[in-house]
Structure formats: C-alpha cells, structure tokens
Structure 1
Amino acid sequence: MLRHSFRSLSVRNFRYFTIGQVLSVTCSWMMFIAQDWLVLSMSGDSAQTLGLVTALQFAPILLLTLYAGRLADRYDKRHLLVLANIAAGVLALLLGLLLFSGAERLWHIYVFAFALGTVNAVEIPTRMSFVSEMVGAELLPNASAMSAAYFNVARIIGPAIAGVAIGRFGVVAVVLLNAVSYLATVTSLLLMRPDELQRSEARPRGAKVADGLRYLLRRPDLVLALTLVASIGMLGFNFQLVLPLLAKTVFHTGSASFGMLTTALAAGSLAAAFATTSRSGRPSQRLLLGSAIGFAVVETMAGLASSYVVALALLAGTGFGSIYFAQAANHRIQLGTDPQYRGRVMALYSLIFQGSTPIGALLSGWMAERWGVRVVLWGGGLASLAVTLVLILVSTRRRPSADPRPEPNQEDRPTRLRSR
C-alpha cells in the first residue's frame, strides 16, 4: 500500500521536480506569512488593506492565465517553468533588499504582490499541465495527489518556521531566504531528462484560447466542475485573509499562534492529499458534489468555533475538506480533457479557482471590517453549500445520469487506468 501511494515518485523526472518544489514552496509559504504579518503591522491591522494585497496578488490570474495556457500548449513547459521561477526569485530578492534598506511603504508591497501574481499566472497552469508530461496519464492521479501532499507539507512546515523566524530574525530574513529557495526548483528542472517526458507528438503551434473555450463548451461535465470550482473558490477559499485576522482580532495571539492556525489547516489538507493517492481513475460527478458539501459544512462549523483550540481542530477538518474537493475537481477535469487542450483547460481551471480570489478577498475584507472575520468564515461555508445544492438540482433535472461521458473522439482512454 505504501509503494502504491508513492508510486509516481519512481519516475526520475517527477522525483527531482518534487524535491525542488518541497524546498521552494516551503520558503514561499514562509514569505506569505511574513508578507501578511508585515501588511497588518504597517496598516494597523486593516482587513481591507490585507484584502487589497491579496486581490493584487491574484488579479493577474484573471487577466493573463488563459493566455498562459496557450503558451503552455504551444511551447516547452519545462523551459517556461525555469523562466517563471527565475523571475519569482528576482522579485523576492528585490523585495528583501528593499525591506533591508528600511525604505518600504505599503505601495511597494502592492507592486510586489501584483508582479508576483503575474509570474504565477504563467507558472501555475504550466506546472499543472506539466505533471502529465512527467508521469503520463496512468500515474497522473497519484502524481497530482503527491503534488498536493508536498504543497501541504510545505504549508505545514513553512508557517510553523515562519512564526518563529519572524519574531527572531525579522521579516527581511524570511523574504531573502525565499529568494534563494527558487534555485532549488530551477536546478530540479534543469536536471531532468527531456527525452523521458511524455509529450504530445503534435504540439499545436497555432493554439488559440478560443479553440479551448469552444472545446470546453461541448463538455457539460467539465462546465459543471468548473462552475463549482469558481463558486467555492470565491466564497469559501479565502484562508490567506481569514487566518491572520482570526489570530489578531479574534484570539488576540502573536505570529507563532498565527502560524499554528495555518499549520492546522495544512495538516488537514495533507491528510486529504494522501487520502487521494490511492485514486486510480476519474472521480465521478457524485463524488465531486459530495466533497463540496462536506467542505462547506465543516467550514461553517469552523467559523463558529468557540475557542482557539476548537478553531485549530475545525480548521484541520476544513483543510481536509478543501483539498479533497480540489483534488476531485482537478482529477475530474484533467482526466477528462484531450491532451492537446489540457494546457488551456487547466489555465481556465486556474483562472477560475485562483482568479476568483481577488473578488472573494475584497468582499471578505469588506465583510470582516463591518461584521467581523467569523462571518466571513461561516458565511462562506453556507454560501458554498447553497451553490452546491443548486448545482445538484440543475444537474439532476438536466441529465438523469450523474456522470456524463466525453464525446467519442475526445480523450476517454487515459481515464481507464490500471486497477490497483
């Protein structure tokens, strides 16, 4: 069973990729914690200011991700990832030097957040679609689950270290460490063997965004999954804004306790990631909708937590529900998409999932200023539940079968994976 859970790591290129990602993503989470703490310190604990920074960090995904998906389908994904990680490292270095000089202002943080978001708009869909090139369709569910696992390992370790490091060494040291960490990802990409990548024989040189959208509109199963991702991404996935506000304004704790809240969320997320490593095929629509309901219920409970300890436990449950749902959506979309459109479809997935964050962050910041951060948490859970129930009613009326099949000429073969 253990070998089965980690079987995608037997692929050399993916193993190198995972090692580089663990190191880099851990330091990135440390920097996010430092950035949020810095913004709250500079703004007098302003929820709206933190919401604005979060919105700026994700806004480029709304503007550029579809074009980035076209780039991912048209050009070498490994080369694109090398360039994106170098750019992110340079940005982190510039921010660290600015903070070291002591001349930082809030608008500097705004500019950095937007610039990093621009890089991420290219990196995210490219990285997501690159996983299938490293491991192939048969190992894709396991590799995707392993990617979620290392991401959440980093989200556990990073904030826990950051909470202590900020108090002991300051924000500057954390930011500069993150700048250096991008070398790990770049090195892992350069050490790969290109001839072992499982690339499509015909890379569409004239790949157009419109073609990807037309393909998607012919797939009601993918449209429903993306609609659910858009709704829950905007209404329920605002943890980057909610957690520091919970720590500072509800439980009145310091940076270390803030890091523990993030760690609790990540611990649940990690458990969900490992729970999905055994998946060997495309998830059903019923599983997708059920996981959305489960996430919505536990997030609502977390918003009503009576104490810090209870909040830690319920945030762990929220983390489990969020990643289990996200993985179900990711696998259902990736394994149901033709390889020649995968970059553009996953770009739309990234656009919807993370591009909805600026809207959700601004709305959440406005709500938190007026009614408190608890309302943002339990309100997001109830709203996510309502949207899921509506989609269940719509899909039931539209089609009796819960799992519509792809068109015959589209990629169905890769979804029929070898059983355990």
Structure 2
Amino acid sequence: MASVKGAAALGPLSDGTYRRIWLAQMFSNVGTWSQTSALQWFMLPYGSVMVALVQAVGIIPVLVLLLPAGRFSDRHRKKPILVGTQLFMFAGGVLLVLLALAGSVQPVVALAVLFLIGCGQAVMAPSWYAIQPQLVPAEQLSQAAALNGTSMNLARIFGPIAGGSLVQAVGIGGAFAFNSLSYLVTAVVFGRWREQTVPAPAAGTGGRITDAVVDVLSSRVKSTVIWRLVSFGPVSGVIWPLLPVYASRTLHAGSREYGVLLAAFGLGAGVTAFCLPALRKFLSMDAVHRAACWVFAATLLVLPSVHTLWIACVALLPAAFLAIAALSTLSAEMQHSLTDDMRARGMSIYQIVLQGGMGVGGIVWGVLANFYGTGATFAVAAAVLFLSGLSTLFLKLGRTPVPALSGAPE
C-alpha cells in the first residue's frame, strides 16, 4: 500500500508498485509510438489519407467503447481487465509480426489490426484511471497525472526514434515485435499487482451509463472540468495536425527538424512533473488553467512569424509546460470528485471528451488550414483559447482542498 510522502515532484515514484506500473506504461507508450511511426512511414506510398488513418482508427473505439467499458469496469475487478486487455493487444501485435515475417503486411489489414488493438486500449483505459487512487495517496493524484503525462510526452520523442531505428535495422516487423513485447511486459506487471477489494454496486443499483452522465452534468465541479476540457483540449490540439505543416512551409524544414520541434514540446511537457507542486503552491487551479490558455494562445499567434527553428522551440516550451499542468490538474480534480462506484464511468466521459474532441478538432483545424492557411487557423484557435481563459473568471474551481477518497490508500 502506498505511503503518504507529500506532493513532491516524484513522490508517486517513491512507491515500488506505482513505479513498476509507471515504467511498464512508459515502455508500452514508447512501443505504441514506435509502431505508429513505423506504420505511418509504411503507409507513405499509399497516400496521405492512409497515413492519417493510422492514428484515426484509434479514435473510433474510444468513442464507441469507452463508456460501456467504464460501466463494466465499475462493476468488476480491475486487475483481470487490465491483464486481459494487455494480452489481447499482445495477440494483435503478434499477428502483425507474423504478417511482416511472411511479407504480407497490407494497408487495409494493418489498419484492421490497429482497430482491434485500439478496442483493447479503449476497454483498458477506464480501469487504468480507476486504479490511480489505489496506487497513490489522494494528495499525490495531481503528481501521478503529471507523471502519466510525462510518460506520454517522452514516448512521443523516443517512440518514433525507436521505430525508425528498428525499421532501418530489421524492417517494420521489428517495430511490431517491440510493441508486442511492451504489451506482454505490462501484462506481467499488472498480474503481479495486488488489487484492493472495492465493493461492487449491488445488483439492480447503479452501473448505468446514464447515471454517470447525470452525475457529471449535475455537479458544478465535474461539469466545469468537462467545459474546460471542451474549450481547451481540442483547441490547443491544433498544434498536432498543423505543426508539420508549419515546419515544412514556414520553417522550410525537413523531417529531422520536425522531430526537434516535437522534442521541444515533449521537453516542455516533461518538465511539468517536476514543477507542478511548486506551481500549485502559488497558483489556484483557475489561475493555472487561465495561464495555460493565454500562454498557448500567445504561442499560436507568434509562431507564424517565427522562421528560425531554435526560436520556435523556445516558444513551444512554456505552452507545452502549462498545457500539461492544466490537463493534469483537471484529471486529478475529476478523480477527486468521483466516488469509487462511479470513477471508471466518470473518467470514461473525461477521456471521450478529451480524446474524441482532439480527434474531431484535428480534422476541423486541418480543413480550416487547407482553406485559409496555417496562420489564420492558429489565430482562430488563439481567440478561442483567450475566451476559454476568460471563462475561468466566472466558472471557478478555486484552490479547493484535496478531499479524502473512498478506497484510497492510507
């Protein structure tokens, strides 16, 4: 059981169980980005639409399965779900490896297997978020969320590097095998974790998806969190579909320089885990979110006039830092406000809004940029972010104390 060690930057990692699971998830995230980048490179000869579909096929399972998976998770033990989904994704990865060895990797078949792996990820996600209060004390949830964000952003840097190296060394099957191994390792780590016993809802009570929707919408705190996700996540997400366009057309850079931009964003996001405790001492949750909106908006307005790589990298650092700080704070606040019997479904709604919004938003921003250009699209996103920041003056979360969590370690 995790011991309370305060909210130091790396506090959650001081617990052996959380550290092992975090490292396994880090390995899995690197494996996922390794496979994604390798498949995107493989799809290049088949056109830009096929390249985009490599990531797009993962959005559909999130939108369709996440809430039912949350309902299932709220009524059952989390450990079998976590282990089972990892083994399911491992099987999908092995299938891709076998196809690569046979020289039979076809775009449609690869996308179909990716869709199945995405289904496994969508079913796993609610249980993953639901177990966080079992892994760390309540006051360390924000730090755990920041560390999880750091894991994702570091994976965005090292995953493509690993994928490219493996493709060059042994072919695309190497990236598939690396990702498959990451699923197996994560399954073993989850299998060794000792789950706390949390009573399931009695038969005929609770467990409905509509209960979670009503619970979120009727709560001032939870509905405010969702509003901030809607007005920040998809809008700040403009950076992902348009950053390569900006790198190519404004910086006149190649793929290597684009990788440097991604690394700069990942570095800014990665620093968040170390600085978030100090930041929260001086700023309320509202102020953190407001700063994230306005700094990100300023970055979007400045980038089109920047034609030097290193200046663009410097501009991305504070935007990435504050974006992850804001999202980590929202994730922790959502978990604080959910009861044990509602946590998986509530966090499923959170993830649908965040991931689904960013997926749909990416399409919208891409269409706008196609008609009006990158600079104009960045300006529209900046205006929305400015208004989102203003809304924190009226829809407040405040500097609320961290409440006790039912079922959390003591």
Structure 1 length as normaliser, TM-score? 0.82
Q: Does 1:232 align with 2:236?
A: no
TM superposition shift of 1:301: 3.0
- Residue 217 of structure 2 is matched in structure 1 by 217
| 1:31-82, Cα deviation, whole Å (9 max, x unpaired) | 2222333334431xx3x55444433221221122111111221111122111
Which residue number in structure 2 is paired with residue 413 of structure 1? 404
**Distance between the aligned counterparts of 2:274 and 2:202, measured in 1?**
35
Which residue in the other structure is 1:271 paired with? 271
Equivalent pairs, count: 400
Query: What amino acid sits opposite 2:226 in the alignment?
Result: L
Distance 1:97 1:370 in 2: 42
List runs of 5+ in structure 1 lacking aligned partners: 396-400
**What is the CA-CA distance between 1:100 and the residue it aligns to?**
4.7
* 1:181 Cα deviation from its structure 2 partner: 1.5
Partner of 2:70: 69
For 2:158, give the aligned amino acid: I
Distance, in Å, in 1 between the alignment partners of 2:331 and 2:17 is 21
CA–CA distance in 2 between the matches of 1:123 and 1:288? 28
Cα gap change, 1:371 to 1:268, in 2 (>3 Å): same
Matched, 1:25 2:29: yes
Q: Is the 8 A contact 2:335 2:343 kept in 1?
A: yes
CA positional deviation for 1:388? 3.7
Corresponding residue for residue 338 of structure 1: 339
Kept in 2: contact 1:16–1:192 (CA 8 A): no
- 2:121 alignment partner AA: N
The answer for the alignment partner of 1:8 in structure 2 is: 12
8 A Cα contact 2:300 2:378, kept in partner: yes
1:14-413 superposed matches below 5 A: 14-43=18-47, 46=48, 48-194=49-195, 197=196, 199-203=197-201, 206-247=206-247, 251=251, 253-277=253-277, 284-373=285-374, 375-389=376-390, 391-392=391-392, 395=395, 403=398, 412-413=403-404
Aligned AA (2:295): G
- When residues 110 and 241 of structure 1 are mapped into structure 2, their CA distance, relative to the original with a 3 A threshold, is farther
Give, in whole Å, the separation in 2 of the partners of 1:318 and 1:102: 43
Question: What is the rounded CA distance, in whole Å, between the counterparts of 2:102 and 2:55 in structure 1?
Answer: 24
* 8 A Cα contact 2:79 2:190, kept in partner: yes
C-alpha displacement of 1:251: 4.7
1:244-287 alpha-carbon deviations (Å, 9 max, x no partner): 44455655555444433322211111011222255889963343
Cα deviations by residue, 1:332-377 (Å, 9 ceiling, x for unpaired): 2112222322111111100100011331232233234444555555
Change (3 A) 1:254 1:291: closer
Q: Decide whether the 8 Å contact of 2:250 with 2:307 is kept in 1.
A: no
Is the CA contact 1:152–1:266 (under 8 Å) kept in the aligned structure 2? yes
Asked whether the equivalents of residues 238 and 362 of structure 2 are also in contact (C-alpha less than 8 Å), the reply is yes
How large is the RMSD of aligned CA atoms in angstroms? Answer: 3.3
Contact kept, 8 Å, 1:86 with 1:186, in 2: the verdict is yes
Asked whether the 8 Å contact 1:55–1:359 carries over to 2, the reply is no
In 1, Cα distance between the equivalents of 2:280 and 2:80?
Answer: 29
Offset of 1:323 from its aligned partner? Answer: 0.7
Output the CA distance in 2 between the equivalents of 1:270 and 1:73: 31
Name the CA shift for 1:261/1:41 in 2 (closer, same or farther; >3 Å). Answer: farther
Partners of 2:179 and 2:374 in 1: CA distance:
29
Stretch of structure 1 that moved more, 277-286 or 22-31: 277-286
Cα distance 1:293–1:35, how it changes in 2: closer, same or farther (>3 A)? farther
Q: Secondary structure at the match of 2:151?
A: helix
Q: Which moved more, 1:341-350 or 1:352-361?
A: 352-361
Q: 1:299 to 1:106 in 2, by over 3 A?
A: farther
User: What's the CA shift for 1:394?
Assistant: 5.4
Provide closer, same or farther for how the CA distance between residues 73 and 243 of structure 1 changes in structure 2, counting only shifts above 3 A.
same
Structure 2 stretches lacking a partner, 5+ long: none
CA spacing shift, 1:392–1:150, aligned 2, 3 Å: closer
Alignment-mate amino acid for residue 217 of structure 1: L
